[in-house]
Amino acid sequence: MLFDTHAHLNDEAFTEELEKVLVRAQEAGVGSIANIGYDLPSSRRAIEIAKLYSSCYAAVGIHPHDAKSVTDKTYDELEKLLQEPKVVAVGEIGLDYYRDLSPRDKQQAVFREQIQLAKEYKLPITIHDRDAHGDILEIIKEEQAGEYGGILHCFSGSWEMAKVCMKLGFHISLAGPVTFKNARKLQEIALKIPLDFLLLETDCPYLAPEPYRGKRNEPAYVAEVAKFIADLKNMELKELARITTSNAKIVFRLE
């Protein structure tokens, strides 16, 4: 069974047909799904879904886009959510210098605060990094953010960066973009990542893999990411599923 380590079934895109989406995931061999928060309401919704469905887990956190609206009260609220059952990580947190929807200094401060919060609760973190590779590396080194593990979600950095992150205690998660025709650099990195450090995800509803590119993504399609990487690494899909699911359970402390 596969583990979609980064989904957003907490997004309103799925409110209408959550049950159907979960059935399709099951049929596609996806046994577990981590729904990742990006603000307080979506974090609460991820917890709610985890309570309703045995296959689902939750991460809670504030996305860099929303860093600008974070106050002390936000952290108090996050702390409450971190104590809920089936919360397996703090995320998604990080830096987004592509859209720059919050001032960069505020993004960095909120990223650091949430790293420390995760460490207090001995939880791994799920990192969003868009066009901010240098500052992400600097901050995770300075804050010793890998102490309880973590994930570079939808990895988009270089092989050099991947190596440093793995050394710091992080796993590397790959999503739909690795299946895109123009993604040679990412495919070369996928080939090099040791199996023990590899995770799979959809980041749904965004970034659907081939052959669904451009459509709404959903957890069932993590099977396409898995097939593509198994082919790339010239290995059995079953074996890739077994290893990456076991990795996810280690990161999220589910066994």
Give the binding site for Ni ion (CB under 5 A).
203
Residue closer to Ni ion (CB basis): 11 or 143: 11
Residue closer to Ni ion (CB basis): 98 or 238: 98
CB of 6 vs Ni ion, minimal distance in Å: 6
CB of 138 vs Ni ion, minimal distance in Å: 22
CB of 235 vs Ni ion, minimal distance in Å: 27
Residue closer to Ni ion (CB basis): 203 or 224: 203
- Chain residue at closest Cβ approach to Ni ion: 203
In the block, residue with structure tokens 């380590």: 5
Residue closer to Ni ion (CB basis): 93 or 145: 93
Tell me which H or E stretch contains 195: none
Task: State the Cα–Cα distance between residues 168 and 102, nearest whole angstrom.
Answer: 27
CB of 221 vs Ni ion, minimal distance in Å: 14
CB of 163 vs Ni ion, minimal distance in Å: 24
Residue closer to Ni ion (CB basis): 165 or 175: 175
What is the b/e burial string over 97-110, where b = at least 16 CB atoms within 10 angstroms of the residue's CB? beeeebeeeebbeb
